[in-house]
């Protein structure tokens, strides 16, 4: 599942989005417990800032300011997200976890 840091720390202008992503966070843990008996793994990827349709209206200066919250000073790429998804499919003993793909601190 795809989560968001906003779902964990909230955002004053994104209440509905924060609520829905907060629900994803709980759903991952609940589903991991329920589906473990069937050997189904459920994890959450929190990709961080990506240039996608959701951020298309964020101008370059604002996007750079948001990226600056990362202690490593850079955003995430869609390629990094894809590589993480593939990597998670190789793990046999990981479920109910959140994987943060950027370096923002909660």
Quick one: DSSP state of residue 100?
E
DSSP annotation of 98 = E
Distance of CA 38 to the CA centre of its chain: 25
User: What does DSSP say about strands 44-46 and 98-100: parallel, antiparallel, or unpaired?
Assistant: parallel
DSSP conformation class of 48: -
Identify whether 104 is a catalytic site residue.
no
- Least Cα distance to 99 among 11, 1, 23, 18 occurs for 1
Length of the chain: 106
Catalytic residue among 8, 10, 14, 17: 17
Q: Which residues are tagged catalytic?
A: 17
């Amino acid at each position: 599942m795809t989560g968001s840091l906003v779902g964990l720390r909230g955002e004053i202008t994104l209440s509905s989005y924060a609520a829905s992503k907060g629900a994803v966070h709980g759903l991952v843990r609940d589903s991991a417990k329920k589906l473990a008996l069937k050997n189904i793994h459920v994890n959450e990827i929190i990709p961080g800032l990506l240039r996608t349709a959701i951020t298309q209206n964020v101008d370059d200066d604002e996007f750079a300011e948001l990226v600056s919250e990362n202690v490593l000073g850079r955003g995430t790429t869609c390629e990094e997200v894809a590589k993480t998804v593939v990597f998670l499919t190789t793990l046999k003993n990981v479920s109910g976890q959140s994987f943060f793909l950027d370096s923002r601190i909660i």
